[in-house]
Each structure stands twice: as C-alpha cells, then as structure tokens.
Structure 1
C-alpha cells in the first residue's frame, strides 16, 4: 500500500512521506529500546546486583523521553502530511480528469467520482495522519523484541522468528479475503450513489406515475444490495480477525511454556524470564493493534486503488506540436469503432464539405451520436482515421479540436446560474450584445424585457417565454426551472455564440414546439452558410434542405444523396419518409 501511495503522490510528496516513515520508525525504535532495557532492569533488580538497577531504570526513562519527543514531532509531521496528501490528490485528480477522453465520463462514473473526490481522498489522507504510526510501531517494536530475545535466549528468539511467517501468512490471507469483499462492496456503493442522485433528480417523473409510497425499485434494489454487501463484508472479516488474534496468542502461549520450561530447568534466570514476559506482552500488543488496524488499512487501500485507477486512466495521446488545419471540412476514412468488445461502426467513410449542411439519418442505435462524438474526439477510432481540413484529429490535439467544434446534444445540462451565464459558456469574452443576439437567434428573444419582479420564478417551473428576470433569470440546478424546449434553446444559443467552424446538432429540435422550431430552422440555415454543419434528426423536415443526407444502418453508411434523390430510391430513407407522410394528417380528438 505504501508503494501505491508513493506512486500516486509523485516524487516530491513521496520524498516527504518517506521522511515521515523514517521519523516514525525512529520513534518506534526508541520505544522498543525502552522495552528491551526492561530485561536487564529486572535481572539487576531481582538479582544480586540490585544497586545497579537504577542505571537501567535511567536508561528506560531516557528511551521513553526520546520516544515521547520523537513521537510528538513525527505525529505533528503526520498531520501536516495528511493535509498535503489531500491537497495533492485533489489537484492530481482534477488535472487528470480534464485530460481524460470525454467518452470516459459515462453514467457509472458519476457515483465513482463523487466517492473518490470526497470520501476516498479523506480516507487516504487518514493513512499518514493516523494509520502510519501504529502500522510502523506494529513492525518496529516486535522486531526490537526479537533482537532482544536473541541476546537473552536464542531459543526463545528462534521460536518467535519461526512463528512470524505463520502470523504474516494468516494476516495476508485475512487481508486478501476482506479485500475482495471490499472491492465488491465499492462497486455496490457506487451504484447506490448513482441511484440516490437519480432518485432526487427524477422526482417529477416518479411522482407523475405515483411512485411516492412504494419507492423506486432501482434504488430499493441498490440499497438492498448494499445491505447484503455490508453483511458479506462483516462475515468475511470476522474469521480473518479471529484467526490472526488466535495465532498471536498461540505464539505467546508457546513462548510462555518454553520460557517456563527453561526457567524451571535452570537454563534461564527467573528474573530474566520475568523481563521476557514483559517483552512478549509488548510483542503481542502492537500485533493485536495491527489486526484491529487492518480493517482501516484495507478500507484506505481500497480507496487508494480507486484513486490510482483514475490517475492511471490513459488520456488521449496528444501531439507534441499540434497542427492547426487550414480548412474545416471533415473526412471519415474507413472508420471502425466499438465500445469494449462490441463493434458499432464498420468501415465508415464520408466527407462533410466546408460550409455545407449534412444530415445523418438512421434508426436508434445505428451509431449517429457516436459519429458526432468521434468528430469531437470523445474517443479515438479503432481503425481508419478522421481528418479535419486534411489533418488527422490525432495531430490537431484534443484542445484544438474542441476549439473548432461546437456541439448541441439532445440531453442538455445547464449550470445553476443565470440564463446569461449559461449562454456565455459558449464564449466567455463575448459582449452583452453578442450574447443577446445569440439568444434571440435561438428563439429566446423574450428574455430581454420583463416586468416580473426578481425572485418570482423561485421554486416553480417556468413555461413558454415566461422568463421573469430576462437574461438574469435563474435556471436552477440542471436547468430545472426551465422547460425542456428552453433548455434546448439555451444549448443552441451557446453554440451560436461560440461561432465554431464545425457545428454538430444531435436531435437539437427534439424538444421544441413548432413556433420555436421555426427559429431553430433559421439558425440552422445561417450556420450552414458559415460552418460545416452535421445535423442528426428523426424529424425529417429538419433535413429537407441538407446538401447531403447520409443514412446509417448497423454501423455502415447505406445511402447518401439529397432528399429529392433518396425518396426516389428503394431504401431506408424512402421508408422513413413514407412513414412520416402517412402520419401527417393524424390528430388527437377530444373525448
């Protein structure tokens, strides 16, 4: 565990941790020396040289004073080291997280990252602050006892030395058993964390379907699984703790019997034997403490493994000298990609010419969103390559790619701030006039004027164009105070404000009413004149004016062309269009 901690902390902080371990070991050695001097003290006090006992007593006092002074200094250093560990880990996690591919951040990472950046960092901080001192003491003091026994009686020392591997083996077995249970429990805790957050965020949906008294089945199952995991952890921990405690006491009993036999046989002085008993008690005490400490150490080690897993996650490779492309056309050349062992895209090739609009159409799960995310370099492709302006995206670099690309996905997240602050994320240095223009172009034109008083929107959902404080309207956590269409329009306003040369719209009009859909169609038309535009849509009227339409099925491009050409062909696009046309005249009738 110490090696892992040193690796996680890095060279500079690792050196400080090594100095701390050395200081703790020196303090523990002073403590062990005090115990070792007990043997000659008893020998002098109970023997014929009682007048010299005070010398050994003075030595014990000096060793104890040295132990107290060294421990006070080392423990203060340990507290400072704990604070430094928390600071370093938070910085290193933050620095690593921003370099990881965006595709790494799936839904399962939410609970994991929340646990790592809060509970796990505190647990690892606890290692130098509270766990190292008893752990070092448990190693150094028994070693000092064994060295003393070598001088006093080699046979007793040999007996303890032979028993040491047995105790280590039992402790290792206990740690492995509990470690596996810990790892399984951590996965369950992550799932529970995700479900708890989900339960809080999705209250409107749950209440709409009457899920207020029975509970939420997914959360209930996660809580039951965590309860079962806690029980399994306890059941697997107890046998190991009992076995180690029994082994330690068995060793003490063996030394006691062997020492008594040698004392009764006259080969070991009774006074010396009394000192040996004191030594053995001091031998057992830190080992017993180590067994109790084992649970905390295993828990900290599990947290440390989780942090190490994030820090060791491979970022996307970045070029030493990024190349800035001169053009904004996008080319896919024989691209293959899959999630894990499951292939999704197979030999996909196409081109998005600069300042044109390309529509991507296909059934759900065909790979449309994956294509958009590959352009933004959420991941690197498995085979083939993607080029922007003739330059492979791997040579452009992730930061530069994101500067060239603006993305609007169907699932929009807004930060708990004002409308203006959320739009301004697209370009923080934009002027107020530019922010307002982007908002109006995205269909949020009613935000500039309002007679409502500030705070009127607090605690209630805003519908339609009811934005009481204009651009200063609070949107709530995740945009909870806005309607779905408003959140989508804010996301589009961000993209418009960023004014990137490549724009990816993934179902950007899915949550819009017909009136605001008109605004977005105008925005799309303007984007297509100044940007390389890729539009993913199930509402086919959105793509009627596209310069080209790509149809993707089962991870392959099966059709390409303009709308007027594709509806004349037998294929998926014509089927989609016919299905849409057949439902054009449908209406819901009032009862």
Structure 2
C-alpha cells in the first residue's frame, strides 16, 4: 500500500511518509506499553499492600503522558503529510493529464477522470491523514500487549499470540473475497459518473424531444447496477467481519478458561490472571475495528490503482534534443493514422507552402479535423511524417510547436473568469493596447460595450454566459493576440447566425492575413477565400486545386458545391 502510494506520488515524498509511519508505530508501541503497566498496578492493588501501587500508578501516568504527546505528534504529522500529498497529487495528476494525447480523452474517460480527480484523490490521500494511524495501532498495539503478556505469564501470552496468524488469515481471506466486488463497484462508480455527465449534456435534446419528465434509461440502468455492486460488496465483506468478531471472542474465552485453570491450580495468582485478562480485553478493541479500517484501506487502494493506471499512461514522447522549425510551411508525407481499428488517414501526402490558405472539404468522417489535430500533434501518426517548418512535429518541443500555431475550433471553451482573462490566454504578457487591438480586430469590442461589466464581465464556466458567436469572437481575439504564424480553423462559422457569422468572418480575415492557414469548412462559401482546396474522402485526397478549377472539372467537389448551394438558391 505504501509502496503504491509512493509510486503514485513520486519518491520525493518517501522521507516524510516513512517518518510519519515510524512515528505512528512508536505511538502504538507506547500505547501498548502504557496498557502493560496496568499489570503491576492491579497486582499491587489486589495484593497484601495496596500502597505499593503508587509508584506503578506514577509510572502509568507518565507512560500515558508520553503516549499522549506521541499521539498528538503522529496525528499532526499525518494531517500535515496528508495535506502535502494531496497538493502534490493534484499537481502531478494535472501536469500528467495536460501531457496526454487528446485522443486519450474519450467520452468514457471524462467521467472516470472526474471521479478520480475528486473523490478518488481525496479517498486515496486520506490514508495518511485518517486511516494509517488507526490501522498501525490496530496491528502494533495488540502485538505489544501480547509481548507483555508473555513476559508476565507465558501460558496466557502464547495462547493470545496463537490468535495472531488466525486474525491475519481472516484479513487476507476477507480482502481476497471482496476484491472482485470492490473492483466491480469502482467500475460501476465510474460508469455512473459518466452517465450523469451524459445526462446533463443531453438535457437540450431531451427537452426538445418533450422528454423532460421521462427518466433517462441509461442513467437508471447504471445507478441500479451501482446499487447491486454496493450490495455485493457489503455481503462479501460480511463473512470477514463476522469471522474476525467470533475469533476475538473465542480467543478471549480461551484466555478466560485458561486463566481460571491456572488460578485454581495455583500456577498463577488471581490478581495476575485478572490483570492479564484486562490486557486481553484491551487487545480486543483495536482488533474488532481492524476489519472496518482494512475495508476502507482496500477502497483507497483501489482508487490508488486507478490513479496509478492514469499516471502510467504514456504521454506523447518528447524529443531528447528538440529542434526549432524554420519557416511556416506544412507537409504531410505518406501519413497513416488509425483510431482504434479504423484507418482515418490513409497514405496522405500534402504540402502547404508558407503563406498559403488551404481549405479542406469533404463528407463527415473523411478525416478533415484529424488533419488539423495531427499538425498540432494532438496525436502521433502511425506511419509517415507531419512537418511544420521543415521539421518533424515529433522532433519539435511541445511549447515551441504551440508557439507556432493558433487554433480556432467550432466549439469554443472559455474558462470561468473575465473576458480579458480569457483573451490574455493567447499571450499572458501582452500589453493592454495589444489586448484592446486584438479585441477590436475580432469585433469583440462590440460585445464588450454592451455587457454590464465590460472587460471585467464574467463569462461563466465554459463561457456559458456568452452566446456562441460571442464565444467565437473571444477565441479569435485570443488567436490574434497570440500572433502565431500558422492558423488552423475548424468549422468556425458552421453554427452561427448571419450577423455573428459576418462579424466572425471579418475577424477571421484579419487573423489569416499573412499567415499559413489550413481551414476545415462545411459552409462552402468560406472556401472561396482559399488559395487551394483539397477534397478529402476516406482519409485520402480525391481532388485538389482552386475553386474555379474544381468546378470546371465537374467531379466530387463540384457535386458537393452544388448540393451545398442548393438550399441558398431556393431561398
């Protein structure tokens, strides 16, 4: 458990964790030894001279004081180390997630990561702060007391010691019997979290379909499965709890009978037997809570295993000696890219000279957006090479590559903050005049003027307080402020109304000026501004040329153009 914790966190945390575990162990030993002093105290009290108990009572009080100090220090250390580990875990997880390829984030993993980053991290890191001290105490304190019992009466001590392997065997058996149920419960937890996210995202569709009062079947099924998994977990843990309780009670009964036999036979005094039975009873308390603590630790271990699996996911490799691109041209050379079992890009070769505007069109699923993602190295190709400025994108450092590229997506995500903070993400060190100029070029200043807070207006989580066109203008202003030499545009106007589309087009024109541009568009009017057009289908280039040239050929592009322009002509 500790080894996995240190593997997840990194070995720089090994020293404070080991120091805390050692302090907790010392505390548990001190607790056992302080309890052991009850034996001479009770012997003296029940002997012929009860006044002889005073020195032992003083020693007992001193031992309890030492234990109290150690307990305070160990609990404080546990909380402090737990807080440090929690902060370190969030930093490490966040840094690692930021380095994973975008393709790793499918719909299923959104729910999994949200559970891991919230409940999972808190439960895993609670081991040091809340669970480790009682677990160490439940294991070490009874063993210390048993060692003292052996010193006072070897028969009763060995009888108590015989219970140790039985208790250990029950814990191992209980852990194995609940392992499958625990794994299923955690899987169901993650599935249910994903279904909740899906249910929330599907609200517009459900309401438009008049299904506001109807239960979401997939979510209901997932929650019922989670309920069944929790029930199986509880039932599988029950034999271990009952077995441990019966074992502890049986051992105490054996000690009671054996003590009575020794007292009646004259082998031990009544006071001695009574004091040892008091110690045995003191052993029972931590042992009885051991199963509950062990169950919580197993749950935390499962969360740690999930975090470990995420952190073991390999990010895209970084070149040991990264190079800098020379120029702004783009090139695809015999590129093959597969997503799962499907070949999305199949042997594609394409070059975009510096300063050229290339439009990529084609049916849905042709691989258009994937081309942009390969340029930005959201994925690595399975074969072939993608070059930026003459350099393989795999040989360019991530930060250097991102400096060369500005991306405007159809779906814009804004962080919960002000408009100015979101624009400044393009270049945080930009001056105020540069930020204002970028906003004016994107026609974002029109939006700012009508918002109550102006530049300080909050956009809400994901930009929920702005319209789609307003979010798109923020995104364009951000890209303009970045001033990157390569611009990637992915369906930036396909969901906008005419007024916002005109404003966004104006901002896009200013963004594209003098830059190498690759644009993906469904609205065919936007491709007229391109220097060259490629028609993509099945991950291959079917046609390539200028707009007028492709129309004269009367091929796939011409058919696509005629179909897309037919609704406009009918209006």
TM-score > 0.5, shorter chain as reference: yes
**Structure 2 unaligned blocks of 5 or more:** none
| Residue of structure 2 equivalent to 1:246 | 246
Asked if 1:381 corresponds to 2:365, the answer is: no
| Residue of structure 2 equivalent to 1:534 | 518
CA distance in 2, matches of 1:275, 1:35: 10
Asked whether the 8 Å contact 1:30–1:67 carries over to 2, the reply is: yes
CA distance in 2, matches of 1:62, 1:442: 75
Cα shift at 1:104: 3.8
After the TM superposition, which of the residue ranges 470-479 and 344-353 deviates more from structure 2?
470-479
After the TM superposition, which of the residue ranges 26-35 and 379-388 deviates more from structure 2?
379-388
Asked if 1:495 corresponds to 2:474, the answer is: no
Cα deviation code 1:513-548 (max 9, x no counterpart) = 345545555555555552221111222232234333
Asked whether the 8 Å contact 2:447–2:470 carries over to 1, the reply is: no
Alignment of 1:62-461 (within 5 A): 62-152=62-152, 154=154, 156-196=156-196, 205-261=205-261, 270-340=270-340, 342-432=342-432, 434-442=434-442, 444=444, 446-447=446-447, 455=452
Q: Structure 1 567/57 Cα, relative in aligned 2: closer, same or farther at 3 Å? A: same
Residue in structure 1 matching 2:465, options 481, 487, 490: 481
| Residue of structure 2 equivalent to 1:576 | 560
Cα deviation code 1:489-533 (max 9, x no counterpart) = 332332233221111111112023345545555555555552221
Cα deviation code 1:103-134 (max 9, x no counterpart) = 44444444444444443444344323332221
Cα deviation code 1:116-165 (max 9, x no counterpart) = 44434443443233322211111111221332344455555555445433
Cα shift at 1:405: 0.9
After the TM superposition, which of the residue ranges 438-447 and 166-175 deviates more from structure 2?
438-447
| Residue of structure 2 equivalent to 1:505 | 489
Asked if 1:21 corresponds to 2:21, the answer is: yes
SS at match of 2:331: strand
SS at match of 2:314: coil
Residue in structure 2 matching 1:550, options 512, 534, 555: 534
Asked whether the 8 Å contact 2:417–2:460 carries over to 1, the reply is: yes
Q: Structure 1 269/211 Cα, relative in aligned 2: closer, same or farther at 3 Å? A: same
Cα shift at 1:26: 1.4
Cα deviation code 1:24-59 (max 9, x no counterpart) = 211211221233344455556656887765555554
Cα deviation code 1:43-80 (max 9, x no counterpart) = 56656887765555554444333222322332233333
CA distance in 1, matches of 2:169, 2:549: 75
| Residue of structure 2 equivalent to 1:466 | none
CA distance in 1, matches of 2:191, 2:72: 42
Cα deviation code 1:276-313 (max 9, x no counterpart) = 32232222221112122223323333333344444444
Cα shift at 1:203: 5.0
SS at match of 2:235: helix
SS at match of 1:530: coil
Asked whether the 8 Å contact 1:42–1:271 carries over to 2, the reply is: yes
Asked whether the 8 Å contact 1:441–1:520 carries over to 2, the reply is: no
CA distance in 1, matches of 2:464, 2:205: 13
Hey, which of these two has a bigger chunk of helix by percent? 2
Asked whether the 8 Å contact 2:469–2:501 carries over to 1, the reply is: no
Asked whether the 8 Å contact 1:356–1:528 carries over to 2, the reply is: no
SS at match of 2:366: coil
SS at match of 1:585: helix
Q: Structure 1 44/445 Cα, relative in aligned 2: closer, same or farther at 3 Å? A: closer
CA distance in 2, matches of 1:76, 1:516: 58
Cα deviation code 1:190-241 (max 9, x no counterpart) = 4444554565566555444433333444544444444444333333333332
Asked whether the 8 Å contact 1:199–1:216 carries over to 2, the reply is: yes
What TM-score does the superposition give when structure 2 sets the normalisation length? Answer: 0.86
Q: Structure 1 152/220 Cα, relative in aligned 2: closer, same or farther at 3 Å? A: same
CA distance in 2, matches of 1:154, 1:571: 97
Asked whether the 8 Å contact 2:135–2:294 carries over to 1, the reply is: no
Alignment of 1:48-67 (within 5 A): 56-67=56-67
Asked whether the 8 Å contact 2:359–2:533 carries over to 1, the reply is: yes
SS at match of 2:570: coil
Q: Structure 1 37/100 Cα, relative in aligned 2: closer, same or farther at 3 Å? A: same
CA distance in 1, matches of 2:250, 2:358: 78
Cα shift at 1:178: 3.8
CA distance in 2, matches of 1:13, 1:310: 19
SS at match of 2:348: strand
